[in-house]
Amino acid sequence: MSEPIIQTRGLSKEFARDQFKVVALNGADLTVDKGEFVALMGPSGSGKSTLLHLIAAMDRPTSGDINVLGQNLRGLSESAIAKWRNAHIGFVFQSFNLLPVLTALENVELPLKLTKLSKSQRIEHARRALELVGLADRLDHTPRQLSGGQEQRVAIARAIVTDPDLLLADEPTGNLDAVSAREVLTLLGRLNREFGKTVVMVTHDPHAARAASKIRYLDKGALLPEGQQPEDWEVR
């Protein structure tokens, strides 16, 4: 029996921009089961990144309920959310967001600084995560010494080093060439299939979305029913 890992009900997010109210997400009902690899697609401004940010508790919804990994996020304090995110969520950014002054190993070790692991245990975990993404020979390289694809793989290693249940990726291939993008998608697919990680990936690239087991579309802030695409959506 499938076990829902993400459940949102009537989830909405509004922003005030100058004197206008912008509805970024309008009553989204999303369920993602454990072990799924879901791609959130849609045109720019459709609300897909907003939904991802709400799932990661990087932002608070205006209304609606959100339950991730059995935790009602609306009821958590900011410090509790920070701890929860560190323990349960791995986040992959479009621009990699590695700290440029730290080496690959130190970047990957960073989230473990918030755990009770000893220094040697942290190094061991970070080393293993980098081995998993195929960068065992780049431990002491700084981000500037890595290619875009390698940087994103370091970022994925950083996202999985705490062994989170849920991997969230915001346009992970958006800044990569085709070869690197394919490598990153293969890696995410492997993490999903071999390691049982639930993956939610935002993308507007249909090729990238094909790596997912399920695609959900958003349009003008609304999450469309399963199998439905925006009317003017062109598959490139």
Partner 1 sequence: MAIPLSYNLRNLAARKTTTIMTALGIALTVAVLLSISALAEGLRTSLETSGHPLHLLVMRTGASAELVSAVTQEQYGVVKTKPGIAKDASGNPMASLELVTVIVLESPENPGGINVTVRGLTIAGLKMREGARISEGRMFTPGRREVVVGKGIAAKYPMARIGGKLQFGRGDWEVVGVLDAGRSVANSEIFCDLAQIASDQNRENGLSSILVRAENEVSMQALIDDLKADRRLKPEALSEKAYLAQQTQSAAPVRAVGMFVSVIMAVGSCFAAMNTMYAAVARRSAEIGTLRVLGFSRTGILASFLIESLLLSLIGGLLGCLLVLPLNNVGTAIGSITTFSEITFQFAVTPRIMAVGVAFALVLGAVGGVFPAWSAARKQILTALRQV
Q: Which residues bind partner 1 (CB under 8 A)?
A: 53, 56, 58-59, 78-79, 82-83, 85-87, 91, 93, 95, 97, 99-102, 106, 110-111, 113-114, 158
Amino acid identity, position 157: A
Q: Least distance to partner 1 from the beta carbon of 161, Å? A: 10
Is residue 130 within 8 A of residue 136, CB to CB? The reply is yes
* Closest to partner 1 by CB, 106 or 219: 106
How many angstroms separate the CA atoms of 96 and 208, rounded?
A: 17
CB of 143 to partner 1, least distance (A): 11
Q: Least distance from C-beta 33 to partner 1, angstroms?
A: 24
Nearest-angstrom CA–CA distance, 171 and 157: 16
**Nearer Cβ to partner 1 (118/186):** 118
Pairing of strands 4-17, 20-33: antiparallel
Q: Which residues contact 62 (CB under 8 A, 6 or more apart)?
A: 12, 13, 14
CB of 57 to partner 1, least distance (A): 9
**Residue number with CB closer to partner 1 (59 or 205):** 59
Could you tell me the smallest distance in angstroms from the CB atom of residue 101 to partner 1?
Answer: 4
Q: Which residues pair with 200 in a beta bridge?
A: 38, 168
Alpha-carbon span 192 to 186, nearest angstrom: 10
Question: Which residue type is seen at 167?
Answer: L
58 or 222: CB nearest partner 1 = 58
Identify the helix (H) or strand (E) that includes residue 30.
strand 20-33
The distance of closest approach from Cβ of residue 110 to partner 1 in the complex, given in angstroms and rounded to an integer, is 6
| Contact (CB, 8 A) for 158 and 177 | no
What's the CA angle centered on 41, arms 225 and 210, to 5 degrees? 100
Considering the complex, state which of residue 107 and residue 173 has its C-beta at the smaller distance from partner 1: 107
What is the C-alpha separation between 118 and 113, in angstroms, rounded? 9
